[in-house]
Amino acid sequence: MPTEIVLKNNVNNVSRTAQNLIGSEIIKLAGEIKEKISNGEKIYNLTIGDFDSKIFPIPTEFREEIVNAYRNYETNYPDASGVKELRNSVSDFLKKFGKLNYNSDEILISGGARPLIFALYQTLLDKDDKVVFPVPSWNNNHYTYLSHANAKEVETLAENKFMPTANELKPHLKDATLLALCSPLNPTGTMFDKDELEEICELIIKENESRGEGQKPLYLMYDQIYWTLAFGEVEHVNPVTINPKMRNYTIFIDGMSKAFAATGVRVGWAMGPENIISKMKAILTHIGAWSPKPEQIAAAKYLANFNSVAEYINKMNERVKFRLMKFHNGIQQLKNEGFPVDSIAPEGAIYLTVKLQLKGFQTKEGKILQNSNDITQFLINEAKIALVPFSAFGAHNSEWFRLSVGTCPSQDIEPILSNLKNAIEALTF
């Protein structure tokens, strides 16, 4: 009989990288919530950075073009950079709506933003290179780890809307290879204002001018995947429009996932210096992380219809802003009534930043809430509300949470606020 080989649960069976990789705290939390819901519990799940497609469907014209592409047998491999028609349409879309001028050879299409971010890190970073990024922020710690680089986390402040300032970043940019920024920011739903981003750009330019020949530049990854979801008094700004010198050092991460509620369609793009984009493409050819060809062809046709695009974006902004402001106003009302809560006025994306100052409070079962995990579990068990703590985004000892409205029916907002009020009222201090 053949000898049966049994692989024991031994850390030596996998690489050191795999051994020490930390899984997503958000996905772990989502799994716990899903299990409770499957067991019959009513949980208002506001953790998901996604859209309920029945509440926020993709544009009708886009959906029809996807179906047509499949009917026309457009199901073979796409070009490695993305189909030329889509890169041309993205170029025109960016000129029309984003005040950015990139030609098709400076644009790379992929299956959403994640492969592009991974490819960017792999393109720019050698082992032990320094990556600077603010916390809270999404996944920069994991991409830095996978690149065997060194992370420099810059803790941001609520009084600055959790957006990093030039003064906070300045001490850490010397000898750094990459600065990773995002606006509108996941998880906060806040954005850079023009003056602050302008100061950061000046720091990057000065740092690069100080570097010797043969030394790597300091690059900026500017994740603007939520940029069309911008409302309120703050207008979305980008580094290249603010300072044209930044064009040589900026790589944008962008796509259709958030602007068009198309997270599962997987059409993302990066744009930047052609030499960087071409190397990112080379990396992705070995991964096969391209966007499906039918979706690319459909996106090319849809994005060329500026009137439909503008109408959809405007409607999305109205509906998202309505939900965010209703939550924000409700939290502020609770604050005015003396409850230990707060929120930051939303400016973009699909997120509201909520503060729950519940550390030290005692539940009716006698448990003292000591950290963000305790507060998270209290909300789920007693208020039937699920939020993501900022600790999942790298923040330390935080009482701040991300509230996402992408899957929230508007009629649920009042019951959620009522549940929160009732649960906090049952606490003792």
- CA 270 to CA 299: how far, in whole Å? 15
Does the domain made of 60-309 have the CATH classification 3.40.640.10? yes
Q: Are 137 and 253 in contact (CB under 8 A)?
A: no
CATH of 11-56+311-425, one of 3.30.930.10, 3.30.2350.10, 1.10.260.40, 3.90.1150.10: 3.90.1150.10
Check residue 8 and give its pLDDT. 53
Q: Do domains 11-56+311-425 and 60-309 have the same CATH topology?
A: no
- Closest alpha carbon to 143 in 253, 297, 294, 304: 253
- CA 133 to CA 321: how far, in whole Å? 27
Q: What confidence tens digit (pLDDT) does each residue in 76-103 have? A: 999 999 999 999 999 999 999 999 999 9
Q: Are 268 and 253 in contact (CB under 8 A)?
A: yes
Domain residue spans of the chain: 11-56+311-425, 60-309
Q: Residues with Cβ < 8 Å from 24, sequence gap 6 or more?
A: 139, 142
Q: What confidence tens digit (pLDDT) does each residue in 14-73 have? A: 999 999 888 777 878 888 888 888 889 899 999 999 999 999 999 999 999 999 999 999
Return the bridge partners of 154, or none.
134
Q: What confidence tens digit (pLDDT) does each residue in 340-381 have? A: 999 999 999 999 999 999 999 999 999 999 999 999 999 999
Round the average pLDDT of the chain to a whole number and report it: 95
Is the full-model pTM beyond 0.85? yes
Lowest mean pLDDT among 119-133, 186-200, 227-241: 227-241
Q: What confidence tens digit (pLDDT) does each residue in 159-174 have? A: 999 999 999 999 999 9
Return the bridge partners of 160, or none.
none
- CA 178 to CA 181: how far, in whole Å? 10
129 pLDDT above the threshold of 50: yes
Check residue 1 and give its pLDDT. 46
Residues in the chain: 429
Cα separations (Å) of 64 from 14, 61, 259, 300, 306?
Answer: 45, 5, 18, 13, 17
How wide is the angle at C-alpha 91 spanned by C-alphas 49 and 303, nearest 5°?
60
Phi and psi dihedrals of 315, rounded to 5? -65, -40
Phi and psi dihedrals of 111, rounded to 5? -80, 70
5 pLDDT above the threshold of 60: no
Check residue 396 and give its pLDDT. 86
| % of the chain at pLDDT higher than 70 | 97
6 pLDDT above the threshold of 70: no
Q: What confidence tens digit (pLDDT) does each residue in 290-327 have? A: 999 999 999 999 999 999 999 999 999 999 999 999 99
| Helical spans, DSSP H, in 243-351 | 274-285, 293-303, 306-336
Return the bridge partners of 314, or none.
none
- CA 18 to CA 92: how far, in whole Å? 41
Burial class (CB in 10 A: 0-12, 13-18, 19+), 283: middle
| % of the chain at pLDDT higher than 90 | 89
Contacts of 331-338 with CB under 8 Å at 24 or more apart are 331/417, 334/417, 334/420, 334/421, 334/424
Structure tokens at 88: 């041309």
Check residue 29 and give its pLDDT. 85
